[in-house]
Structure 1
Amino acid sequence: MSQMIDEPLERLRAAARRTRELALNRAGTGLGHQDAADAADDVGTIGTDDALGFDPFPLLEALHHNGVRVVVIGQVAGIMHGSTELTGDLDLLWDGAPAHAPALAAAFTSVNAQLIDEKGNPVPTRPDSFLRPKVQFTSPGASGDCCTPALPWGNLRVREFLDRAITAVDPGGLEVHYVSRKDLIQMRRAIGRPKDLRRADELDSFAPDRRG
């Protein structure tokens, strides 16, 4: 399903600006994306230092220019659907096909991203590193998780989420794919942390005819 409008991207740009402004006016926390699972289950990464300078667009543009189809999940997708909660991270889902890994690695390399494995150890930004079920990344603009359908998702058929993803296009031609609202709600409820359930309820409250 495709949307040839840029409202979701404008919402994301506005939210990223508010996040940067908010983070500038507070003291550092010493916490980053990798700490959020334990320390920010309720607040989210808006409460970590990853909110400082948060700008997902350099990486999203790099993915587009390198021709790799990656779907935005997590709260950035929520914002694109109209959520009012801010975030400091960018979570991504791709199909995990080895043939697509070189383009993915090229995109991350172009924004000076660094990768971290599931144990917190640095791994090189090369194609085979992305073939893991999940790899964490940090970059000057955004940090987050880059996942594949091989990651345990419970009973969710996440590969189908890739097929149902929505595409937002801005006037400059940037295309950003993001998970549908219904699929994002499923993801939220499956994870079940306080922030996920709260955000799922918010998304569920939207009018039935709202996009996604």
Structure 2
Amino acid sequence: MNRMIDEPLERLRAAARRTRELALTRVSTGLGHEDADADADDDVGTIGTDGALGFDPFPLLEALHRHGVRAVVIGQVAGIMHGSAELTGDLDLLWDGEPVHAPALAAAFMSLGARLTDETGIPLATAPEALLRPKVQFTAPGASGDCCTPALPWADLNVREILGRAVTAYDPGGLEVHYVSREDLIRMRRALGRPKDLRRADELDRLA
């Protein structure tokens, strides 16, 4: 009999394992999470990209926790933590964009040897000032994705308020992971309006 998984971090660990298993025999295609994001008609998401190969968000989540960074998980990883059954191959983050918090965020990325690029793929130094952009893309061991600030337009949503309403998951080892609330994730999905976002918003509605 299968044990029901009802804790956010347990759900995420199980989903990451399943993603790695599904991608185990796949060859690299050269497609990254930015390719899925750029395709307005994409209805699959990053599970079909190279991000799914060896996907494990926990090294970065643990680094953020160690460095005292309050970065909020958004996107489908947050969806999984709320109970979504759809898998993903990337990890998207939202932080407050305040310069005083940038050094700790940069230190967390540097501790893993993460690489940063701008939205066009141009490499950036893994330094505090680079992270002050509205959005940078990162590649770290186990996970890649977007790291965004409230300066990134998100339709008419007040992103700072979304940050303030984030919830926190805890595990017995002391790890804390902040993630967007279910209601705000639904709003963010509907604001983006892509087929996969609308489908995932509907799924989250049904999970209420």
For the aligned pair, the TM-score class normalised by the smaller chain equals over 0.9
Task: Report the TM-score, using the length of structure 2 for normalisation.
Answer: 0.95
Matches within 5 A, 1:46-125: 46-125=47-126
User: Percentage identity across aligned positions?
Assistant: 80
CA RMSD of aligned residues (A): 1.1
Whole-angstrom distance in 1 between the partners of 2:176 and 2:35? 30
3-state SS in 1 of match to 2:129: helix
User: Partners in 2 of 1:203 and 1:140 — Cα distance?
Assistant: 29
The answer on whether the counterparts of 2:134 and 2:149 sit within 8 Å (CA) in structure 1 is yes
1:75 alignment partner AA:
Q
One-letter code aligned to 1:82: G
Inter-partner Cα distance in structure 1 for 2:160 and 2:20 = 33
Higher-RCO chain (CA-CA 8 Å, sequence separation at least 6)? 1
Q: Greater CA deviation, 85-94 or 37-46?
A: 37-46
Name the CA distance, whole Å, in 2 between partners of 1:114 and 1:33.
14
The structural deviation recorded for 1:41 is: 2.1
Where 1:99 maps in the other structure, the secondary structure is helix
Aligned residue for 2:38?
A: 38
Aligned to 2:185: 184
Structure 1 equivalent of residue 150 of structure 2:
149
Unpaired runs of 5+ in structure 1? 1-5, 208-212
The whole-number CA distance in structure 2 between the counterparts of 1:80 and 1:154 is: 24
Instruction: Letter of the 2:36 partner, please give it.
Output: A
Counterpart secondary structure, 1:172: coil
Matched, 1:24 2:29: no
Q: CA deviation at 1:33?
A: 1.4
Q: How many residues are aligned here?
A: 202
Give secondary structure in 1 for the equivalent of 2:96: coil
When normalised by structure 1's length, the TM-score is 0.93
Query: d(CA) in 2 for partners of 1:10 and 1:37?
Result: 27
1: CA distance between counterparts of 2:21 and 2:72? 26
Deviations 1:39-77 (A, max 9, x none): 472110000011000000000000000001000000000
Q: Which amino acid aligns with 1:159?
A: R
For 1:47, give the aligned amino acid.
G
Once residues 147 and 99 of structure 1 are traced to their aligned partners in structure 2, the CA distance between those partners, rounded to angstroms, is 16
Shift of 1:114: 0.2
* Offset of residue 104 of structure 1: 0.1
Residue identity in the other structure for 1:135: V
